[in-house]
Amino acid sequence: MQALVAGAGVVGLAIAREAALAGHEVIVAEAEPHIGTGTSSRNSEVIHAGIYYPTGSLRERHCARSRRMLYEYCASHGVPHRKLGKLVVAGRDADIPTLGKLFAQATRNGVEGLRMLDGAEAIRMEPALSCVAAFHSPETGIIDSHRFMLALQGDMEDAGGVLALNTPVERLRLTPAGWEVRFGGAEPGSLLVDAVVNAAGHGAQKLARATEGYPEDRVPRLVLAKGNYFSYVGRPAFSRLIYPVPAPGGLGIHVTLDLAGRMRFGPDVEWIDRYHYDVDPGRAAMFYPAIRTYWPGLPDDALVPDYAGIRPKLTGEGEPAADFVIDGPSDHGLPRIVHLFGIESPGLTASLSIAQEVVARVAEG
Do 291 and 238 fall into the same domain? yes
Specify the pLDDT at position 104: 97
Note whether residue 77 is domain-resident: no
Q: How sure is the predictor about 364, in pLDDT bands with cuts at 50, 70 and 90?
A: confident
Do 152 and 192 fall into the same domain? yes
Q: What is the mean pLDDT of residues 278-301?
A: 96
Do 308 and 228 fall into the same domain? yes
Do 297 and 327 fall into the same domain? no
| Beta-sheet pairing, 189-193 with 25-29 | unpaired
Do 55 and 182 fall into the same domain? yes
Smallest Cα–Cα separation from 329: which of 320, 342, 316, 338? 338
Note whether residue 211 is domain-resident: yes
Note whether residue 228 is domain-resident: yes
Do 155 and 203 fall into the same domain? yes
The pLDDT tens digits for 306-329 are: 999 999 999 999 898 999 999 999
Please state, rounded to an integer, the average pLDDT across all residues of the chain: 96
Specify the pLDDT at position 178: 97
CATH number reported for the structural domain that contains residue 122 in this entry:
3.30.9.10
In sequence order, what DSSP letters do the residues of 85-130 get, joined into one string?
-EEEEESSGGGHHHHHHHHHHHHHTT-TT-EEEEHHHHHHHSTT--
Bridge partner list, 28: 5, 163
Note whether residue 233 is domain-resident: yes
Do 231 and 305 fall into the same domain? yes
Q: How sure is the predictor about 187, in pLDDT bands with cuts at 50, 70 and 90?
A: confident
Q: Which domain holds residue 282?
A: 83-141+222-313
CATH number reported for the structural domain that contains residue 31 in this entry:
3.50.50.60
Interatomic CA distance for residues 338 and 282, integer angstroms: 42
Smallest Cα–Cα separation from 12: which of 242, 193, 237, 169? 169
Specify the pLDDT at position 248: 62
The pLDDT tens digits for 209-238 are: 999 999 999 999 999 999 999 999 999 999
Q: What is the mean pLDDT of residues 164-168?
A: 97
The pLDDT tens digits for 235-282 are: 999 999 999 998 665 678 999 999 999 999 999 999 999 999 999 999
Do 239 and 212 fall into the same domain? no
Interatomic CA distance for residues 276 and 318, integer angstroms: 22
Note whether residue 13 is domain-resident: yes
Do 92 and 122 fall into the same domain? yes
Do 226 and 273 fall into the same domain? yes
Which of the residue ranges 39-43, 97-101, 117-121, 248-252 would you say has the lowest mean pLDDT?
248-252
Do 233 and 300 fall into the same domain? yes
Q: What is the mean pLDDT of residues 65-70?
A: 98
Specify the pLDDT at position 295: 98
How many structural domains is the chain composed of?
A: 2
pLDDT beyond 70 at 303:
yes
Q: What is the mean pLDDT of residues 143-159?
A: 98
Do 152 and 209 fall into the same domain? yes
